[in-house]
Amino acid sequence: MARTIRPSLYISVDIEADGPIPGPYSMISLGAAVAGRQDAAGYAAEADPEAHTFYRELRPISDTFVPEALAVSGLDRDRLVREGSEPAAAMAEFTAWVREVAVGAQPVMCGYPASYDWTFLYWYLMRFTGASPFGHSGCMDMKTLYATKARLPLRAVAKGTMPRSLLSRRRHTHHALDDAVEQAELFSNLMTWDPAPPA
């Protein structure tokens, strides 16, 4: 009997953190936007990546932080200590949102680069909810996707090396939701991009 393949729903995720790894350091904001859906017929981009989004600012989980990392987001750590969402509540709300937008499909996190954002996201989901709606490997890296299609070494890839037609016209602000929406557009452009074959 042939195995039924469920569609994939790609969710662009961007996180901001106050250090290089979760545990000693904290994820301080999380943004997500639905990028598109893929089934046997192909990939269909979300008409408006701002239509289905999620955003939370989180209370830090330790007193340790790297000032340079914190400065990237521009968030006030003292305010987050007072007013940020409890990580357990934020991760439960995020999981519920993912399940709601992904009804009938398997959710896949996509990021640029996915490695950093996925490390924090998966650690927080497992630490504070005990499960991940993406499973343990449901993530796709946009840099790898581009490198494969463009036939380039991965370490040669940066947004500046990509054709301008692939890039979103939105600014990369280091606000997690802004960047998730911007990268949802980049992901959809990459998924539908068909570069010319080599001569």
Catalytic residue flag (residue 52): no
Q: Which two tokens stand for residue 72?
A: 């990237």
Residue written as token pair 């909810």:
129
Of 52, 136, 174, 175, the active-site residue reads: 174
* Count of other CB atoms within 10 angstroms of residue 163: 11
Give the C-alpha distances (Å, rounded to integers) separating 67 from 51, 76, 89, 155: 34, 11, 26, 27
Q: For the CA atoms of 177, 180, 185, 186, what is the dihedral angle to 10 degrees? A: 140
118: enclosing H helix or E strand: helix 114-129
User: Which among 192, 179, 106 has a CA at the least distance from the CA of 146?
Assistant: 192
Catalytic residues: 174
